[in-house]
Amino acid sequence: MDIKNNILETIGNTPLIKLNKITQKVPGTILAKVDYFNPGNSIKDRMALKMVEVAEKEGKLKPGGTIIECTSGNTGMGLALAAVVKGYKCIFTTTDKQSKEKMDILKAVGAEVIVCPTNVEPDDPRSYYSVARRLNKEIPNSFHCNQYDNPANRLAHYETTGPEIWKQTEGKITHLVCTAGTGGTVTGTAMYLKEKNPNIKIWAIDVYGSLLTKYFRTGEIDMNEVHPYISEGFGEDFVPENYDMSVIDHFEQVTDKDGAVMARKLAKEEGIFCGYSAGSCLQGLMQLKDQLTKDDVVVCIFHDHGSRYVGKIYNDQWMMERGFLEVKSFQDIVNGRAAHQKLITIDHNATVADAVALMKKYGIEHIPVLDGGDFTGSISESGLFDKLFDNPSLKTAGIHEVMEAALPIVPMNTPVEKLSSLINKHNGAVLSKDEISGLYHIVTKYDILQALNK
């Protein structure tokens, strides 16, 4: 019988998948090493297990011990799986920019998670690096993996990822493209491939806000290069010891937006539901595509699964709030709101004072008027102001005496350009019905301006 003794035996031997649509105009054959097929849904399973095995062999990790590590989430998952099987405890430090999904998954497999601030120096006592080191000193029988400087990190990829890619491409690989973080994946894989064929090009993909690219080009650690970025799982504000820059041929930087947008394209156009770094990896390749020929065989490493990012890059609202997603329709504007507030309406028998109270309570300028379930008119802040200024006694009048024309109702997929033409000085908003929920939504001139200016 073909049986695995435990979940750790399923790590590795992940598929190499050809990209067809996004890269159809890119010279050569573009392949993705999709490592979310590992049991912990990321490539980090490989090095996590290796670090534990080496620590056990060296006597640094003993029975009943505690594994401590600072992680963006994926390494922690791999370590947690190893801990479950081998009987260790886990304490992980992470940063407040990591997705909630990652933290929840770590807790689900029994780990304790400590969230630390992102925007502090690495040696700040509050940083997730410093907290991990402190815990290691305070907790008896504990082992701090330190994936950044632990040679077992890159050894895992030298022993598994590199050989797998070489075998799967029958030695025909010409380029390896990989995001750069701890340095383990890109360095370990590159070391093996360069031994097989020193002509293979290694392209490391970095993010703006990381200092790795400038360090690669100049050998200078320039903290002026460091600034906050949203991309997860790669980029660094220091240079981990796992790097051997001599096996890397080029560093390419990608923006937060481009990486996120490309990840979504991979899901929609290739059916590969992957994480932030995979989108950035492929975006980096697209920026370098002019350097390729039709005979090249390119392998892009896709580190983790999209389930880690459903609250971020796969969430329309999150993307729109950061200006990452183009606003095209009424639906896009509604999706981009911080909260889907129920449409505020007013009955035609209500008073002007009632309308003013609603506007003040909800901070709104336009209220549709209902008569028996039908939209028969509307009230606007500017219209009321003009009427009350001319005749203050209207404050006690009925809505039907001062209401304006009913707001236009359009389909949810109406383009922004069409909405702009419908909204004018006589008509300040537009309505639309969500056919799925049956609820109406309103879009105002302010909503459109805010969406287009993100």
Annotated catalytic residue: which of 18, 21, 33, 44?
Answer: 44
pLDDT value of residue 259: 98
Both structure tokens of 224: 């002026």
Domain 328-452 bears CATH identifier 3.10.580.10: yes
14-40+167-320 and 44-144 share one fold = yes
Q: Is 44 a catalytic residue?
A: yes
Q: Where are the domains of the chain?
A: 14-40+167-320, 44-144, 328-452
pLDDT value of residue 40: 95
Q: What does each C-alpha distance from 34 to 31, 161, 178 come to in angstroms?
A: 9, 11, 12
| Mean pLDDT, each 10-residue run in order, the chain (454 residues) | 96 98 97 98 97 96 95 90 96 86 88 90 88 94 94 98 98 98 97 98 98 96 92 93 97 97 96 97 98 98 94 86 82 76 88 90 91 90 82 82 90 84 82 89 83 62
Residue found by looking up tokens 């979940």 in the block:
7
Q: What does each C-alpha distance from 158 to 185, 193, 223, 365, 423 come to in angstroms?
A: 8, 8, 30, 63, 61
Distance from C-alpha of 152 to C-alpha of 82, rounded to nearest angstrom: 15
| The CATH number of the domain covering residues in 44-144 | 3.40.50.1100
Q: What is the pTM of this model?
A: 0.78
pLDDT value of residue 452: 62
| The CATH number of the domain covering residues in 14-40+167-320 | 3.40.50.1100
Could you report how far apart the first and last alpha carbons of the chain are, in Å? 58
Distance from C-alpha of 75 to C-alpha of 165, rounded to nearest angstrom: 21
Q: Which residues contact 253 (CB under 8 A, 6 or more apart)?
A: 205, 206, 207, 208, 210, 213, 284
Q: Which residues contact 428 (CB under 8 A, 6 or more apart)?
A: 365, 366, 380, 382, 444, 445
Contact 444, 451 (CB under 8 A): no
Q: Where are the alpha helices (DSSP H) in 87-200?
A: 100-108, 128-138, 151-156, 162-168, 184-196
